[in-house]
Amino acid sequence: MSSISFPKSLKSIGFQAFFFCLSLEYVDLLHTNLRELGESAFQDCQHLTSIRLPDSLRKSGFGKHTFAECRELVPNEGFGSVDTYKTDEVVTYLRAQQQLLGDGK
């Protein structure tokens, strides 16, 4: 599985839901009612390069290590205003428009 999209009715993704999903490259959550990403939900998805998140998801909705070790998750070009924040020590998260992307090291 290299990409996933979800129904509008989605409100949360649980603890380690996609943990260590090595083939995952793209996740589209933009058209959902997502409010919460559980702890380590996408941890160790080492080939994840892009994720689109809805406005319904707020900073407080992130669990610890949500995107830890997602080393290929990097910002796309063409972003306007960007707020930077961390939810763990591994990945820096950037939120701009309706997307969240990270620069992992």
Rounded to whole angstroms, the Cα distance separating 10 from 41 reads 14
Question: How many residues are listed for the chain in this entry?
Answer: 105
Please state the pTM of the whole predicted model: 0.71
Tell which residue, 94, 96, 95, 92, has the closest CA to residue 105. 92
User: What residues does each domain of the chain span?
Assistant: 15-105
pLDDT tens column, 40-79: 898 899 898 888 888 787 767 778 888 888 878 764 443 3
- pLDDT given for residue 59 in this prediction: 67
21-35, 45-59, 81-95: least confident range? 81-95
The backbone torsions φ and ψ at residue 78, rounded to the nearest 5 degrees and listed phi first, read 85, 15
Place of tokens 């961390």: 86
Do 105 and 71 form a contact (C-beta atoms < 8 A)?
Answer: yes
